[in-house]
């Protein structure tokens, strides 16, 4: 079963840019998975993605994550995060929490910081960045700026 965090920005012309943003959280188990706070997600969205961007963050299990990875990328492994640009102003980030938790030692980060890194990583892909030294540098900068 997938859980969704929807970060959307209303498209009403009469609203100021800052008023267009709305963020709602739907059944993401915080006790088990330390997703960043809503304020942090809003701030990241505001700073990384374009002003009119609508974003969904989805939590899926390992089978679904692997199925999506195979279908869309032709890869058989269980990913920690996948990003799907749906249009120029809309995208989705898919997180596999159990895989992220398994990778704490690999990344040398505690779970809370690693979940933040995965969201940042997904947003940078949605913005158009490919894996590179530049992307890794930006990830470190955003992680440092938004870590508690």
Residues 6+ apart with CB under 8 A from 124: 48, 135, 138, 139
Break the chain down into helix, strand, coil percent, rounded to 5.
45, 20, 30
Task: Please name the CATH architecture into which domain 3-10+19-146 falls.
Answer: 3-Layer(aba) Sandwich (3.40)
- For tokens 């440092």, what's the residue? 144
The CA-based diameter of the chain, rounded to the nearest angstrom, is 48
Domain boundaries, the chain: 3-10+19-146
pTM: 0.82
d(CA 57, CA 69): 16
Residues 6+ apart with CB under 8 A from 36: 44, 112, 115, 116, 119, 146
- For tokens 């006790």, what's the residue? 31
- Specify whether the CB–CB gap between 42 and 7 falls below 8 A: yes
Q: List the structure tokens of 88.
A: 């120029």
Looking at residue 145, its pLDDT comes to 94
pLDDT tens for the chain, residues 1 to 148: 444 455 544 333 333 444 344 343 444 555 677 888 888 988 999 899 988 888 888 888 899 999 999 999 999 999 999 999 988 888 889 999 999 999 999 999 999 999 999 999 999 999 999 999 999 999 999 999 998 6
Looking at residue 90, its pLDDT comes to 86
């Amino acid at each position: 079963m997938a859980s969704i965090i929807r970060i959307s920005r209303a498209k009403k012309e009469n609203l100021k840019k800052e008023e267009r943003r709305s963020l709602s959280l739907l059944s993401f188990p915080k006790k088990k998975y330390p997703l960043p706070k809503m304020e942090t997600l809003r701030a990241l969205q505001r700073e990384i993605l374009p002003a009119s961007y609508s974003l969904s963050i989805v939590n899926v299990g390992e089978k679904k994550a692997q199925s999506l990875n195979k279908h869309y990328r032709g890869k058989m492994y269980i990913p920690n995060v996948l990003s799907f640009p749906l249009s120029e102003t809309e995208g989705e980030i898919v997180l596999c929490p159990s895989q992220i938790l398994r990778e704490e030692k690999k990344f040398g980060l505690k779970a809370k910081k690693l979940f933040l890194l995965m969201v940042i990583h997904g947003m940078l892909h949605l913005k158009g960045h490919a894996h590179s030294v530049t992307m890794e540098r930006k990830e470190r900068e955003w992680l440092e700026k938004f870590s508690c």
